[in-house]
Structure 1
Amino acid sequence: MDMSKIFHSSLGIKYPTLRDHPLHSGSKWLKGKNVDDGAEGYWRIHDNLYDLHSFIKLHPGGEDWLKLTKGTDITEAFEAHHFTSMPEDLLPNFFIRKATQTRNLPFTFDDRGFYKTLKRKVAEELEKLPEHPKNRSKYLTDALFSLYVTAFISAVRYRSFSVGILAGILLGLTAIAAHNFFHQKDNFRRFYFDFSMMSSREWRISHVLSHHMYTNTISDMEISSLEPFLWYLPAKRHFIVKYCSWLYSPVIYGVLTMVHFLKTLIQELLDGGSGLSFTILLPFTLPLLSWVITGQSALFCIVMFFWIIIVGSVHFGLVGVNAAHHHPQIFHDGDAIRPLNELDWGIHQLDAVMDRREITGSHFLVLTNFGDHALHHLFPSIDHGLLEYLYPIFLETCKHFGVEWKLTSQLELVKGQFLQLANEKVNSEPPKKLLHTKL
């Protein structure tokens, strides 16, 4: 089915070029943005074009972020990832000219609006926060990875598929915890994610630059890459998707990481192999190490490897797909929108997310279950361990602007996710109108 002929964004976003390419790769998504964003081969921020070539090697977050986004509109990413005035002060040095094309995205960043107001308060608060929560995130993630390696080798050594299940769960927990680190400046812990057979570099595109910036819109890769098997936007869908997705979803979860690996490998080969990196080999170091240490046959090591990968993939899929974004009461592109003067990017993030009361409040659960999801979407580069300290400021600012923070149960989100898969009707009621109060 050609979705471009049946779906029109209620936000007015042009149907993304290459959105429905069979690979659904980050590379294709970026090429599509090069066509759609009016960046003219430069980096676009709001309505200005900048030439950041000379700054690539100086970028504090690492070179990848600027290399990947050349020729695209990076307005949302620029606003969401910088807290000091320094980046904005540096921009005039790289200014080329005004963009000739209007922005493809409708989101605003008014200085007196919700997001910029909240960000200023958060920037001040960050200077007062302790370091130990960030260190705890590192220790917990290191411990999970170490336990995964130990469980993997033990599963092979004792030929135990039960221990293999434990290893798979530990792999899922490790991958989710490592997600905290590929949002941040370059660091080695982001590579823990690659042991799941998924690529941290690819996820920096599909998750960080796409999903986080354009959540639940037609430009969100975490929506498009699951189509047509899991279809979350409100549109006419095949009756199998509508009525049977709850039956075959676990199968999709089970092959999620392996399909992602094959997709990444194919894309890198199509790109001439120049992008082939050592990270694509990381998952296979564990069966090799187990073979060397335990003396078990190579065939059994491979069988156990895929058993553990499948278990880890199911765990990752169950947690990730049911974490925050899919429920009939959550905004999905196609639903009625707020008035145009209320399309603040931060408000959109809250319209497209729900938090789970069982997860919020525990550092370990937040780190390993995509917790504190609203705050994480608003400030993705802030370590998960620090998010709990931001709730007083966050809730106060929500109250001032009349913005709703939706809190529900894990069970309700799981049920809501399947209701949304069966939902063909747009939500005709826009999110609640803003009602400002005095601070």
Structure 2
Amino acid sequence: MEYVWKFLGNFKMEPKLVSSLGIKYPARRGHPLHGGDIWLNEKSADEGAEGLWRIHDGLYDLTELISSHPGGSEWIRMTKGTDITEAFELHHLSHTPEQLLPNFFKRKANTQRNYPFTFHDDGFYKTLKRRILPEIDKMPRRYVIQSEMIADTFFAAYMVTAYLAIYTGSLSLCFLSGVILSYLGVIAHNFVHQKDNFRMYYLDLTLLSSREWRISHALSHHMYTNTVNDLEISQLEPWFYWLPFKKHSLMKYIQWVYAPIVYSLIFYGLWIKTLITNIRVRGTVPLLTFLPFVIPIFSYVTTDRSFSQCMLMFLFITLSSSLHFGFVGFNAAHHHPDIFHDGDTIRPKEEMDFGVFQLDTVTDRKDINRSPLLVLTHFGDHALHHLFPTIDHGLLPFLYPVFKETCEEFGLEWRCTSQMDLIKGQFLQLTRDINQKAPKKLKILKWN
């Protein structure tokens, strides 16, 4: 294993990227096994937390909170030694954590933060956050229950269709089951952001890891969207290059050709990578790693199908699911030539409010945001979700009046385009190799 690790460590295919935001380039970003735990280790080395938890320019010892943290112990445990400023600001929607924080203060940090984002009290994000807090208490609980019922329905539908697909040997049923599983994974993403709950483990059925997703998606992508420190971007290199740099002409367009193949293999590729890094970095393999295989094993025990037949049908289900998930996820909100990507010209330093940055890196889709079902299954209401990721998707529509009013007050643009425009834009972004002078505006579609 040590030989394999060293061999893989020497196998790097990195673009020549420079962060226009001034973020330090992660040392092992090009490692083929670059994943959650390696990413956290890099943060620990780069962010001046000195083995503690850094929030803004203060160092805090949150050890005693590990067992009592309302959101779950894992959030605190795995972020030890890192800068959690963005996570602290986004994940807490009451004043209580802020009031308790001084009790855990140890000392001031000796280095500047690695990230340029600000959270000034009179800035856009903090102002919006103060205004939505009273709205949260008014939101009807039934919309959270609706999200939970949708998740449970898709879970049941997947279990039934997957079993029937293996039992009958129907490839059509396998494909249908794969699409349902893909949607179940997208829905589970809503619950991964929240405090520990059983529905977040629906994601593990896809071969993805809920723990890994909390790192790569919640702690990396949501905090450092479209930057060199966005793990969801770096994990897909060298297959897809969304960040702008000088690209060979062949590289630009060949990505379009093999995209469906890569989409189909994402689940298995990330499952294998997570398995190896769990063994190598953590020295353990969580039982959840093998949760997806409950379906083929149960089918083998309860039907007359051979084990190889069960596994072959399960392979077709998960390949179909991965293909669909890739198509939905990569065309959801973030990749378009008119959306900011690290390497593009940035706003002036005084305008680097975190909420403003999020609006620069995301756009919404009019044809998705109309339906609670489509929102849950297609990463809808994406701007508000990036600003307040722990709020259930079913409640986000209630925030729009305050959100729009605050955007107008600060002179900000809430961008919305069509799904088709984002699909075309995502493929065009793969070919972009120049730094745009200033963020362009997407076509705005008026809402009724």
Shorter chain as denominator, the TM-score bin is over 0.9
Give distance in 2, aligned partners of 1:238 and 1:409: 30
Aligned to 1:260: 270
Give distance in 1, aligned partners of 2:302 and 2:203: 24
Partner of residue 103 from structure 2, selected from 79, 87, 93: 93
Structure 2 stretches of 5 or more lacking a match? Answer: 1-11, 442-448
Counterparts of 1:57-76 in structure 2, within 5 Å, are 57-76=67-86
Structure 1 stretches of 5 or more lacking a match? Answer: 433-439
Query: Does structure 1 residue 418 correspond to structure 2 residue 427?
Result: yes
Aligned to 2:203: 193
Q: Kindly indicate whether the alpha-carbon contact (under 8 Å) linking 1:62 and 1:186 is maintained by their aligned counterparts in 2.
A: yes
1:123 is displaced (CA, Å) by 1.0
Aligned to 1:44: 54
Aligned to 2:215: 205
Give 3-state SS (helix, strand or coil) of 2:367's partner: coil
Q: Which amino acid aligns with 2:106?
A: I
Q: Kindly indicate whether the alpha-carbon contact (under 8 Å) linking 1:178 and 1:190 is maintained by their aligned counterparts in 2.
A: yes
Aligned to 2:40: 30
1:233 is displaced (CA, Å) by 0.8
1:14 is displaced (CA, Å) by 1.2
Q: Kindly indicate whether the alpha-carbon contact (under 8 Å) linking 1:115 and 1:345 is maintained by their aligned counterparts in 2.
A: yes
TM-score by length of 2: 0.94
Q: Kindly indicate whether the alpha-carbon contact (under 8 Å) linking 1:21 and 1:28 is maintained by their aligned counterparts in 2.
A: no
Q: Kindly indicate whether the alpha-carbon contact (under 8 Å) linking 2:187 and 2:376 is maintained by their aligned counterparts in 1.
A: yes
Q: Taking every aligned residue pair, what percent have the same amino acid on both sides? A: 54
Aligned to 2:343: 334
Instruction: Please give the per-residue CA displacement for 1:219-261, whole angstroms capped at 9, x wherever unaligned.
Output: 1011111112100111012333301111111111000000010
Between stretches 198-207 and 236-245, larger displacement belongs to 236-245
Q: Where has structure 1 moved over 4 Å in runs of 4 or more?
A: 1-4
Q: Which amino acid aligns with 2:42?
A: G
Query: Does structure 1 residue 381 correspond to structure 2 residue 384?
Result: no
Counterparts of 1:122-137 in structure 2, within 5 Å, are 122-137=132-147
Give distance in 2, aligned partners of 1:161 and 1:340: 55
Q: Kindly indicate whether the alpha-carbon contact (under 8 Å) linking 1:172 and 1:196 is maintained by their aligned counterparts in 2.
A: yes
1:265 is displaced (CA, Å) by 0.3
Partner of residue 22 from structure 2, selected from 9, 12, 20: 12
Aligned to 1:167: 177
Q: Kindly indicate whether the alpha-carbon contact (under 8 Å) linking 2:338 and 2:440 is maintained by their aligned counterparts in 1.
A: no
TM-score by length of 1: 0.96
1:2 is displaced (CA, Å) by 6.3
Partner of residue 358 from structure 1, selected from 330, 355, 367: 367
Give distance in 2, aligned partners of 1:7 and 1:369: 30
Q: How many residues align?
A: 430
Q: Kindly indicate whether the alpha-carbon contact (under 8 Å) linking 2:58 and 2:107 is maintained by their aligned counterparts in 1.
A: yes
Between stretches 350-359 and 12-21, larger displacement belongs to 12-21
Give 3-state SS (helix, strand or coil) of 1:396's partner: helix
Q: Kindly indicate whether the alpha-carbon contact (under 8 Å) linking 2:207 and 2:271 is maintained by their aligned counterparts in 1.
A: yes
Give distance in 1, aligned partners of 2:205 and 2:166: 17
Aligned to 2:91: 81
Q: CA RMSD in A?
A: 1.2
Q: Kindly indicate whether the alpha-carbon contact (under 8 Å) linking 2:226 and 2:340 is maintained by their aligned counterparts in 1.
A: yes
Q: Which amino acid aligns with 1:78?
A: F
